[in-house]
Structure 1
Amino acid sequence: MDLKQMEYIVAIDKYKNMTEASKRLFITPSAISQQLLKLEEELNTTLFIRTKKQLFPTAAGRIFLETARQFLALRQSALSQLQDIEEGVSGIYHIGLAVDHGSDVFARVYPRFHEIYPGVRLQCSQLLRVSEMLEKTASGEFDMSFVLSGSPDGPSDEVSYLPISSENLLLGLPRSHPLARELPVSPSPVSVIDLKDVKDDFFAVSLEKSTMRRQLIDPLFQKEGVELHVMIESSLNGFLEQLASSGICGTIIPQSCVHNYTDLAWFYMPGLPRFYFGVIYPKGYRLNRILEQFIEMVKEDAIKNLYFPAPKAP
């Protein structure tokens, strides 16, 4: 067996059929099928159960897949180390970006990174679902991804995680709201809101399946015994703030996305929930100096633009 066969088998498991796996690997379905049969003959065991539409790994197949992924990760680690000692720095890296945070940071950091590494190409994919970024990163399709999480430990133990910054989740109300009329214009909240005081209000919030909703907003409203009335959902925090600024609803967004203090009054949420920004990469993958330097640049930017300390508990 060789590493190329291992790549084929891992792709078959990922895409569950020969046709899709062959497309991703730029070979014919017959070629990948022949490689699978050859490997099964060599190992004298069946690695996949074939159905009309999909392939599923057998017990032996699962053992082989785990080992294959380890070998492929070791190969990537070796290539990274070799690249570190090369004089000419070049290459292509695939990076996943969280909506808003990831793309905003990338736009600020990339010009400086490009000056240092003009021969390096970064191919970025902006994804709404963290689960999709986890899958693509764990499989090695992405070299690393910048993600958001409601936990300081990151989104999953299936990947390696490096924390970058954290911030508060804030609730904003139009200045016409009874709770906001007398509050001073301030870039920082001055109090923690009682959700029971806004139990009849409507909000513009993130998508129902988003990390912010699933891990922070929805559980918090449930804990407080208050129903969240949703007027509109969006993945764009600036859009949510703009809607609330018009006076038709409130909103809940990360503190780094707050820009309008004149038309909106901002409050800390009960329990002072935190929102975490970090980078994930495949387990067993060694980050080379190029990726490490990019992460350091992101950290420097995040300290200036994304980090907001937790307030002292009342």
Structure 2
Amino acid sequence: MDLRQLEYFVAVAEERNFTRAAERVHISQSGVSSQIRQLERELGAELFDRSGRTARLTVAGKAALEHARAALAAAHAVGQAVGEVTDVIRGQVVVGMVVGCTVTPLFDALAAFHQAHPGVEITLVEDASEQLADGVRDGAVDLALIGCAGGTPGGLDAFTVVSERLVAVVPAGHPLAGPGGADSDGGADPVTLREVAGHPLVCMPRGTGLRGVLDQACAEQRLDPVIALQASAPDAIAGLAARGLGVGVLSESTAPRHRDLPAARPIADVDIPALLALVWRGTHPPAVRELVAHCRRAFTRP
């Protein structure tokens, strides 16, 4: 019996399918089947009922599963402990990033981390902020850059990157564009949320930080705006707003420069900040700790 066989056994048990398990561990299905058969011979019992369309654990398989998981976790902990004391960090980190968010400092941090620790495999995934936060809590994601409404998620360590207000983006000639679009200081005149909500809106989908701020603020003022269109990328929201399809709602830094848009107008009576933050679990392996340090440096660099 070896750790490779236990890894394949756990993969089949969790996927309930030999083909998917083989894809997960990056070997052929026949290789997985062969190793599982060998493990069953060594244990003297069948671990899976193969008579149906799914691979179901037998009584013996159920008894073995948690012990197999514990053995794999212990082996991983041994490697991490040795790596920590010898200053060699290996393994894998899963980094989450909110959909439609291109943040150069995060990419700089990943590049610097990869150069310093080439033995760590980096996986980058995109999703909505709420799903990424849940992934961090569940352990599926190690570190995530997410949008938050008013504050960072509870139960997680966090580093706030940006805290800013909502703005409304409209094309020239729109009733909210104002005279000339900007004041004498070069900034845009503010508008109220009620004025904004009086028009169809183009905004982020639910589950994103910016949408959370908008929904909370509207609920506080008992407003029920019409959401005309939703898009995950700020450029898409700006492009749709520029074509008169609705008032775009973004944050100050995500409102892109667009040739058909005047200066973005701050929504004056929304005090809930739109946050962009890094979040991670309080207990984490050395690789995650090092990546967090690289991210802090990248985001605080002048």
TM-score by length of 2: 0.69
Letter of the 2:237 counterpart: L
Matching residue of 1:171:
167
Pick closer, same or farther for the CA change 1:148–1:173 going to 2, 3 Å: same
Give the C-alpha shift of residue 271 in structure 1.
5.1
SS of match in other structure, 1:257: coil
Matching residue of 1:200:
198
Q: Deviations over 1:194-226 (max 9, x none)?
A: 3x3333312222234x43377444455455443
SS of match in other structure, 1:150: strand
Return the match for 1:294 from 269, 291, 295.
291
Aligned pairs for 1:70-149 (under 5 A) are: 70-86=70-86, 93-101=93-101, 103-113=103-113, 117=116, 119=118, 123-129=122-128, 131=131, 138=138, 144-149=142-147
Aligned pairs for 1:270-309 (under 5 A) are: 270=270, 272-280=272-280, 285-288=284-287, 291-303=288-300
SS of match in other structure, 2:143: strand
Give the C-alpha shift of residue 272 in structure 1.
0.9
Q: How many residues align?
A: 293
Q: In structure 2, how many angstroms separate the alpha carbons of the residues matched to 1:43 and 1:118?
A: 39
Equivalent pair of 1:167/1:255 in contact (CA under 8 Å): no
Give the C-alpha shift of residue 19 in structure 1.
1.1
* Residue 244 of structure 2 corresponds to residue 251 of structure 1: no
Letter of the 2:158 counterpart: P
Equivalent pair of 1:163/1:276 in contact (CA under 8 Å): no
Q: In structure 2, how many angstroms separate the alpha carbons of the residues matched to 1:225 and 1:118?
A: 51
Letter of the 1:170 counterpart: L
Equivalent pair of 1:240/1:251 in contact (CA under 8 Å): yes
* Residue 8 of structure 2 corresponds to residue 12 of structure 1: no
Q: In structure 2, how many angstroms separate the alpha carbons of the residues matched to 1:28 and 1:111?
A: 32
Aligned pairs for 1:214-229 (under 5 A) are: 215-218=212-215, 220-222=217-219, 224-229=221-226
Letter of the 1:117 counterpart: A
- Higher alpha-carbon Rg: 2
Letter of the 2:168 counterpart: G
Q: In structure 2, how many angstroms separate the alpha carbons of the residues matched to 1:46 and 1:239?
A: 54
Q: In structure 1, how many angstroms separate the alpha carbons of the residues matched to 2:136 and 2:13?
A: 13
Matching residue of 2:22:
22
Equivalent pair of 1:128/1:235 in contact (CA under 8 Å): no
Equivalent pair of 1:149/1:212 in contact (CA under 8 Å): yes
SS of match in other structure, 1:107: helix
Q: In structure 1, how many angstroms separate the alpha carbons of the residues matched to 2:187 and 2:58?
A: 56
Pick closer, same or farther for the CA change 1:172–1:94 going to 2, 3 Å: same
Equivalent pair of 1:74/1:285 in contact (CA under 8 Å): no
Equivalent pair of 2:217/2:272 in contact (CA under 8 Å): no
Letter of the 2:23 counterpart: K
Equivalent pair of 2:136/2:280 in contact (CA under 8 Å): no
Identity %: 18
Equivalent pair of 2:96/2:125 in contact (CA under 8 Å): yes
Equivalent pair of 2:188/2:266 in contact (CA under 8 Å): yes
TM-score by length of 1: 0.67
Give the gaps of 5 or more residues in structure 1: 306-314
Matching residue of 1:312:
none
SS of match in other structure, 1:201: coil
